[in-house]
């Protein structure tokens, strides 16, 4: 594999701190080369932010790197080890189809992971082929970039490369590799793995490293591991509240898919809700609704309890006291989530302050939306645009009463009606990656090699809060279907 000067000149600036952790946490491994790599989509603006040269890397040179055929100078490829509760069952896992090239030091001073997903078998593949299909990799590219546009912490997508090879799932599919960018890939499952199979010193080393990387303001001299737990709980409560506020359903909230950084990760069977219904499930493997939209906040707390369990040896020398500390902190998660979610919901309704009856105001609206199958995104869009007559709720006696109460609530606050509308515009997206639009783009890309729809869609998703005629075309809901929409993991 070439590691020449030309690749270095593309802007790579690696400093691989994870590779200096105890070897228990990873295995050095190389991506498996592919036959005919070709860049399908490349994120120029993200490349520039990373300090990379888009012109150089959107070429054959970039295709070779993003396929794993060439390794940039300074990279130290490895697969990370971790565990995870998958649908409640604990398993020993790891990067079965991903390789971390290394950590790029970017112009802003931040450190980010550069990872290849679908780059071949690793020591953690457990019988899998280590590859990925084009459709799921394009889905992750679209959804992760949409989440970024919505202002939700997320991993980013730098490129998708077609491998020129087919992979066998239910049928032969075109293969692809995604280049994913994250502030790190340290997960709740990473801590679970070290707590279960490592030493106390290795657990302490991982915790210290995580603090230095993600929470540098934590005082290492006082109660650093308690602070790590508190800060992680806070970030996850805030993140999941943001998911709920836009109708995002992750689909597979296993503990190996919850980052310590507070970023959304692993866009497998994810989707966005159309008609408001807390029981909404899209994932084909979530047969009992464990990860339904309405369950996401509770699963977040459950996952964080598993994180707290892994930290118990570090929280206090007395195990009973450590358990008590962990339980106390986890008990605070629900209130934190409710605070972030409540603030977000009030903003969606143009409310700057808080009143005692706000909870009832919000719950009544959501109840009506569920009862009448109102579209989640469009209902708030119509309210923002002062066009209540366009909602399916209009004309219902209960909605008329609610609307009058909401208008009275707006009038009681000091801020003007115009200010309230501006707050709503900042809080209610016009465009989300609606499932039928995603499928439309993926079908054209997979079956016809036509990326026009996807590229146009991505451009609109960059600015989802803009109220323009171009955006209006992406607001339509899907036609009624006899079969429920289903998403698949792609592994």
Indicate if 256 belongs to the active site: yes
336, two tokens: 């934190």
- Banded pLDDT at 16 (limits 50, 70, 90): very high
113 forms beta bridges with 103, 182
- Mean of the pLDDT values across residues 224-229? 97
- For residues 287 and 140, state if they share a domain: no
CA distances, 89 to each of 85, 148, 254, 268 (Å):
5, 31, 9, 19
- Mean of the pLDDT values across residues 198-210? 98
231 has pLDDT over 70: yes
Half-sphere CA count of 156, side-chain side, radius 13 A: 20
User: Cα–Cα distance between 68 and 60 in angstroms, integer?
Assistant: 12
- For residues 218 and 232, state if they share a domain: yes
Domain end among 157, 182, 207: 182
- List 95, 256, 266, 375, catalytic entry: 256
- Banded pLDDT at 222 (limits 50, 70, 90): confident
- For residues 256 and 399, state if they share a domain: yes
6 has pLDDT over 70: no
- For residues 291 and 342, state if they share a domain: yes
- For residues 195 and 328, state if they share a domain: yes
Residue bearing the bigger pLDDT, 5 or 238: 238
85 forms beta bridges with 90
> Residue 2 has what pLDDT?
47
3 has pLDDT over 50: no
Domain end among 158, 182, 206: 182
- Banded pLDDT at 289 (limits 50, 70, 90): confident
Q: What is the pLDDT of residues 315-360, one digit of tens each?
A: 999 999 999 999 999 999 999 999 999 999 999 999 999 999 999 9
User: Cα–Cα distance between 193 and 60 in angstroms, integer?
Assistant: 38
Q: What is the pLDDT of residues 117-152, one digit of tens each?
A: 999 999 999 989 999 999 999 999 999 999 999 999
Mean pLDDT of the chain: 94
User: Cα–Cα distance between 361 and 349 in angstroms, integer?
Assistant: 10
- Banded pLDDT at 239 (limits 50, 70, 90): very high
Task: Give pTM, 2 decimals.
Answer: 0.95
User: Cα–Cα distance between 62 and 9 in angstroms, integer?
Assistant: 12
> Residue 318 has what pLDDT?
96
486 has pLDDT over 90: no
- For residues 13 and 152, state if they share a domain: yes
- For residues 75 and 166, state if they share a domain: yes
User: Cα–Cα distance between 247 and 177 in angstroms, integer?
Assistant: 28
Domain count of the chain? 3
Domain end among 162, 182, 202: 182
Rounded to a whole number of angstroms, the distance between the first and last alpha carbons of the chain is 27
CA dihedral (238, 435, 282, 140) in degrees, to 10, reads: -60
- Mean of the pLDDT values across residues 143-164? 98
Percent above pLDDT 70 for the chain: 97
- For residues 25 and 155, state if they share a domain: yes
> Residue 5 has what pLDDT?
45
- For residues 174 and 248, state if they share a domain: no
- For residues 384 and 254, state if they share a domain: yes
> Residue 4 has what pLDDT?
43
- Mean of the pLDDT values across residues 446-467? 94
478 has pLDDT over 90: no
> Residue 95 has what pLDDT?
95
- For residues 490 and 447, state if they share a domain: no
Instruction: Read off the DSSP letter of residue 41.
Output: E
Percent above pLDDT 90 for the chain: 88
- The residue range of the domain holding 382 is 186-430+475-491
- For residues 233 and 298, state if they share a domain: yes
Residue bearing the bigger pLDDT, 161 or 476: 161
């Amino acid at each position: 594999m070439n590691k020449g000067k030309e690749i270095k000149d593309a802007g790579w600036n690696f400093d691989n701190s994870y590779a200096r952790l105890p070897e228990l946490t990873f295995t050095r491994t190389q991506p498996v080369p592919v036959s005919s790599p070709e860049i399908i989509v490349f994120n120029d603006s993200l490349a520039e932010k990373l300090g990379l040269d888009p012109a150089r890397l959107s070429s054959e040179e970039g295709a070779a790197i993003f396929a794993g055929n060439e390794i940039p100078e300074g990279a130290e490829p490895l697969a990370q080890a971790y565990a995870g509760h998958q649908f409640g069952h604990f398993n020993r896992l790891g990067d079965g189809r991903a390789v971390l090239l290394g950590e790029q030091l970017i112009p802003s001073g931040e450190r980010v992971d550069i990872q290849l997903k679908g780059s071949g078998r690793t020591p953690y593949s457990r019988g899998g082929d280590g590859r990925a299909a084009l459709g799921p990799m394009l889905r992750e590219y679209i959804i992760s970039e949409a989440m970024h546009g919505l202002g939700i912490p997320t991993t980013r997508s730098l490129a998708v490369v077609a491998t020129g090879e087919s992979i066998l799932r239910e049928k032969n599919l075109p293969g692809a590799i995604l280049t994913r960018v994250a502030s790190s890939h340290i997960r709740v499952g990473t801590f679970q793995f070290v707590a279960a199979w490592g030493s106390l010193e290795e657990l302490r080393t991982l915790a210290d490293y995580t603090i230095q990387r993600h929470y540098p303001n934590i005082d290492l001299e006082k109660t650093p591991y308690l602070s790590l737990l508190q800060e992680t709980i806070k970030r996850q409560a805030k993140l999941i509240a943001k998911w709920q506020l836009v109708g995002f359903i992750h689909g597979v909230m296993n503990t190996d898919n919850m980052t310590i950084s507070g970023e959304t990760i692993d866009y497998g069977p994810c989707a966005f809700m159309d008609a408001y219904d807390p029981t909404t499930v899209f994932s084909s493997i979530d047969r009992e609704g464990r990860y339904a939209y309405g369950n996401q906040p509770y699963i977040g707390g459950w996952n964080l309890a598993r994180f707290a369990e892994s930290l118990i040896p570090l929280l206090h020398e007395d195990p009973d006291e450590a358990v008590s500390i962990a339980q106390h902190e986890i008990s605070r998660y629900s209130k934190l989530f409710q605070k972030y979610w409540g603030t977000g919901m009030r903003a969606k309704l143009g409310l700057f302050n808080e009143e005692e009856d706000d909870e009832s105001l919000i719950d009544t609206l959501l109840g009506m939306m569920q009862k009448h199958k109102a579209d989640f995104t469009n209902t708030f869009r119509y309210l923002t645009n002062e066009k209540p007559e366009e909602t399916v709720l209009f004309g219902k006696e209960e909605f008329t009463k609610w609307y009058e109460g909401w208008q009275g609530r707006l009038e009681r606050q000091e801020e003007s009606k115009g200010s309230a509308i501006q707050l709503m515009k900042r809080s209610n997206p016009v465009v989300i990656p609606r499932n039928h639009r995603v499928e439309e783009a993926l079908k054209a890309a997979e079956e016809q090699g036509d990326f026009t729809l996807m590229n146009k869609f991505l451009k609109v998703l960059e600015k989802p809060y803009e109220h323009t005629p171009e955006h209006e075309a992406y607001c339509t809901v899907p036609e009624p279907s006899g079969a429920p929409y289903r998403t698949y993991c792609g592994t």
